[in-house]
Amino acid sequence: LLADGKTRLKVALTAQSGERLGLEEGKEVLILLKAPWVGITRDAAVARAADNQLSGTISHIERGAEQCEVLMALPDGQTLCATIPTSDAATLKEGDDVIAWFNADRVIIATLC
């Protein structure tokens, strides 16, 4: 469950890792995603093929020769960063409503205590 209290993410986690992290319902954790593991699309069908989808608005695109860094503002004010091929970002622009997508095995969980 994300900080907004309603968005759920699917996470692939071994039982041993869950025990080591002391995970239990209600425990606060950090969710980490490497930017290259996140896709960005306007096509809901593309996003649905992944385990997780987050809607938001593109706040900035840093265009490179081969890769683009896309910053996406989530409804709760957090920023998600994705690194996607320049060809995938060609039709995207700041202000576009988009969907970030990623699979459960790409989520890293960290605890503070």
Query: Residue 95 belongs to a domain with what CATH number?
Result: 2.40.50.100
Local confidence band at 1 (pLDDT 50, 70, 90 cut-offs): low
Residue 74 located in a structural domain: yes
Question: In this predicted model, what pLDDT tens digit does every residue of 51-107 receive, in sequence order?
Answer: 999 999 999 999 999 999 999 999 989 999 999 999 999 999 999 999 999 999 999
112 lies in some domain? no
* Any domain includes 97: yes
pLDDT at res. 12: 95
Domain count, the chain: 1
Residue 7 lies in a domain: no
Cβ(112)–Cβ(65) below 8 Å: no
What is the pTM assigned to this prediction? 0.89
6: in domain: no
The pLDDT tens digits for 18-60 are 999 999 988 889 999 999 999 999 999 999 999 999 999 999 9
How far apart are alpha carbons 96 and 38 in whole angstroms? 17
Range of the domain at 79: 34-102
